[in-house]
């Protein structure tokens, strides 16, 4: 037996050595690539090619070296990069036009899409055209294309507009069959995050609130569509879609053209030929043989040199789920954000004001408070703080925003959700049914608690509920103090209720409408800064090796949007299933035992996260296999 153990240890050692060798070769090769890469150039008369292959987000997710080696690089594009490139290209004589490649666009939340649309509108005012092309368009991709001078559509494609909304899964019956007890502690009539685990359908209160939210978001979407494409009557197109399709024998592309939703039907080759005529021919290009420059190359070629000095506004990014401790980019780790802020302010006296950019549906209460405290510390040192809400700034995201002197949002921003909950499963019935029981000793009523095996004691349940109620009162007080509102009024509009930006402004939960640029300008004005505003991003930096992969265009191909319009709807349904699987895994892991300020309704307008979908795909597949026998 000893000899077998020795052989096993030798084999494990060889395996570890080989893994280290592979990783060493990978990073040596990557280092060589970085040092040998040629500087990016911008051809004269070129098109700026914005290939929107992925999700539009405020902060791109961080990829681990192991995921990179396996080719699992999340397909995400940062809004700030796109806007910076568009605004720079408007004044760049070398750029003749913009080409929007939207075949792989996965969406990005209405607020972020509106920000890019505004930049495209500014670009067109310079006299330069914007051409958009896709094989098919859905809500997000069409709204982004709506700012173009000309929208192209593949003759085999179509435009399918569905509006916000959809179903989500409820697990109460399944959990009852499995004899799993779900212990819920919450405050807020509308705090519906827990409902999928406790009900078979939405409560009347939650459904009414969700319907009102969806209606507000849809109204905002239609207003943007009308502003950008006044001749396209989207409501009529949706209401009469079967009749309109019948007029053209079911041809979706001709139907969209007739309705004014697109301007030109053309194959990929026909579109490329038109772009060659516009920007000139380049047979060596990776896209359509027309002269162009990619977003990554253009940003590299136009980047300002390091070491720039002068007064600046710092932008702190709070994106994704808010968690305690350190976290990678794309997730709001409280310690990571606090450390980045403290280091930035310690290293430079140039930062005279702060903007906290929030795109988060919340998470941990303690993490949200740690981020808020870090912002308050900066305020105590004399720095004005302005909040800029992106697609979502709800629950913990709004908690963070209470540190600001002023809050900017978009009409489509999902915000509010001022409520608190904790949720913890226990398994005494399920285990007893298997013949498993438990026994032990206690020195206090809380020994070994919370006991998910024997069930929570009455004392623990009471303590947890009191903790939730105390945290809710703290939340109300924070909002009432920050927004200068009576506590009773905040309680009335809180209760876990989620609001679109339009209603949030009426309720005084936000101050003004505007994007990140408006918030930066407001922060600069409060700090007394004049002239061109310099912006410093305060966040965990992107690893150099990941930047290199992004420059090479590494993306996660299986997460690319489907090209058929109906297949895109199926893909959206699949993402909802992955979200439900994530929530079930979150519950099973017991993460809800800590106080949570989290918003489930925020998926209606939040920026999609391919990386998060990838993490839950395995669990979703297992659930499907166990329920239907697929894959056996």
Instruction: Report helix angle 79-90 to 295-302, nearest 10.
Output: 70
State the Cα torsion 248-250-254-255 to the nearest 10°. Answer: 90
- Condensed to tens digits (0 to 9), the pLDDT of residues 313-371 reads 999 999 999 999 999 999 999 999 999 999 999 988 899 999 999 999 999 999 999 99
- How far from chain centre, in Å, is Cα 592? 21
* pLDDT band with cut points at 50, 70 and 90 for residue 619: very low
Tokens 């750029």 -> residue? 95
33 or 355, greater pLDDT: 355
The first and second tokens of residue 617, run together, are 């795909």
pLDDT of residue 586: 54
CB 596 within 8 A of CB 365: yes
d(Cα 236, Cα 155) in Å, to the nearest integer? 22
According to the model, what pLDDT value does residue 313 have? 96
72 versus 376: which is more confidently predicted?
Answer: 376
- What is the pLDDT confidence band of residue 631, given thresholds at 50, 70 and 90? very low
The answer, yes or no, to whether the previous bond of 568 is cis (omega within 30 of 0) is: no
pLDDT digits (tens, 9 = 90+) for 42-60: 999 999 999 999 899 999 8
**Residue 538, pLDDT above cutoff 50:** yes
**pLDDT tens figures, 391-427:** 999 999 999 999 999 999 999 999 998 888 888 888 8
**Are 100 and 116 spatial neighbours (Cβ–Cβ below 8 Å)?**
no
Buried b (16+ CB within 10 A) or exposed e, 466-492: ebbeebbeebbebbbebbebeeeebbe
> CA–CA separation, 477 vs 491, rounded Å?
9
Question: How many Cβ atoms sit within 10 Å of the Cβ of residue 306?
Answer: 5
The answer to whether the beta carbons of residues 497 and 190 sit under 8 Å apart is yes
Q: Give me the active site residues, please.
A: 191, 395
Of 232, 235, 206, 204, nearest in space to 219 by CA: 235
Task: Work out the average pLDDT over 440-447.
Answer: 90
Among residues 310, 261, 302, 321, the alpha carbon closest in space to that of 534 is found at 310
pLDDT digits 0-9 by tens, 285-320: 777 789 999 999 999 898 876 556 789 999 999 999
**Structure token digits, residue 2:** 């000893």
Q: What is the mean pLDDT of the chain?
A: 84
- Per-residue pLDDT of 484-518, as tens digits, reads 999 999 999 998 899 999 999 999 999 999 999 99
Q: How many helices (H) and strands (E) does the chain have?
A: 24, 22
Helix then strand then coil, in percent of the chain rounded to 5, is 50, 15, 35
Report all structural domains of the chain as residue ranges with CATH numbers, in order of start. 46-159+262-302 (3.90.226.10), 312-420+468-530 (3.90.226.10)
């Amino acid at each position: 037996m000893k000899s077998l153990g020795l052989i096993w240890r030798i084999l494990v050692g060889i395996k570890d050595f080989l893994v280290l060798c592979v990783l060493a070769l990978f990073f040596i090769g990557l280092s060589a690539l970085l040092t040998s890469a040629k500087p990016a150039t911008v051809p004269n008369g070129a098109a700026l090619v914005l290939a929107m292959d992925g999700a539009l987000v405020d902060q791109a997710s961080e990829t681990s070296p192991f995921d990179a080696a396996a080719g699992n690089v999340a397909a995400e594009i940062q809004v700030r990069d796109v806007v910076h490139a568009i605004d720079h290209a408007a004044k760049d004589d070398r750029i003749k036009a913009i080409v929007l490649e939207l075949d792989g666009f996965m969406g990005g939340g209405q607020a972020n899409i509106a920000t890019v649309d505004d930049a495209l509108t500014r670009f067109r005012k310079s006299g330069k055209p914007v051409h958009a092309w896709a094989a098919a368009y859905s809500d997000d991709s069409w709204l982004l294309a709506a700012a173009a001078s000309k929208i192209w559509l593949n003759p085999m494609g179509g435009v399918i507009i569905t509006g916000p909304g959809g179903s989500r899964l409820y697990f109460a019956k399944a959990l009852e069959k499995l004899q799993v007890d779900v212990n819920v502690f919450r405050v807020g009539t509308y705090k519906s995050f827990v409902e999928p685990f406790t009900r078979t359908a939405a409560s009347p209160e939650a459904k009414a609130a969700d319907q009102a939210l969806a209606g507000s978001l849809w109204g905002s979407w239609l207003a943007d569509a009308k502003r950008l494409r006044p001749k396209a009557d989207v409501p009529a197109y949706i209401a009469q879609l079967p009749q309109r399709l019948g007029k053209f024998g079911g041809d979706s592309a001709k139907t969209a053209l007739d309705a004014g939703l697109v301007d030109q039907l053309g194959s990929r080759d026909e579109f490329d030929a038109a772009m060659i005529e516009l920007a000139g021919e380049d047979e060596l290009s990776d896209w359509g043989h027309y002269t162009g420059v990619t977003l990554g190359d253009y940003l590299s070629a136009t980047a300002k040199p390091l070491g720039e000095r002068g007064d600046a506004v710092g932008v702190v990014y709070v994106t994704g789920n808010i968690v305690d401790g350190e976290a990678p980019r794309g997730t709001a780790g409280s310690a990571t954000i606090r450390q980045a802020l403290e280091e930035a302010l310690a290293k430079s006296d140039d930062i005279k004001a702060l903007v906290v950019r929030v795109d988060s549906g919340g998470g941990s209460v303690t993490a949200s408070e740690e981020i808020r405290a870090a912002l308050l510390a900066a305020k105590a040192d004399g720095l004005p703080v302005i909040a800029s809400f992106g697609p979502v700034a709800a629950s913990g995201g709004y908690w963070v925003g209470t540190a600001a002197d002023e809050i900017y949002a978009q009409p489509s921003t999902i915000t509010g959700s001022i409520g608190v909950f904790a949720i913890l499963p226990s398994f005494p019935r399920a285990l007893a049914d298997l013949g498993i029981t438990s026994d032990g000793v206690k020195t206090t009523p809380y020994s070994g608690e919370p006991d998910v095996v024997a069930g929570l004691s009455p004392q623990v349940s009471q303590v947890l509920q009191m903790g939730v109620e105390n945290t809710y009162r703290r939340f109300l007080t924070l909002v009432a103090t920050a927004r200068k509102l009576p506590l009773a009024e905040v309680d009335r509009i809180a209760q876990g209720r989620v609001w679109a930006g339009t209603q949030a402004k009426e309720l005084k939960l936000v101050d003004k409408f505007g994007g990140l640029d408006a918030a930066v300008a407001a922060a600069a004005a409060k700090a007394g800064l004049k002239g061109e505003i310099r912006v410093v991003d305060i966040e965990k930096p992107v690893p150099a090796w990941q930047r290199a992969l992004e420059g090479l265009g590494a993306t996660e191909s299986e997460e690319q949007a489907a090209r058929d319009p109906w297949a895109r709807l199926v893909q959206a349904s699949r993402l909802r299933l992955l979200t439900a699987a994530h929530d079930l895994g979150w519950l099973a892991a017991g993460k809800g035992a800590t106080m949570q300020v989290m918003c489930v309704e925020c998926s209606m307008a939040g920026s999609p996260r391919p990386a998060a979908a990838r993490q839950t795909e395995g669990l979703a597949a297992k659930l499907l296999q166990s329920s239907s026998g697929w894959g056996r």
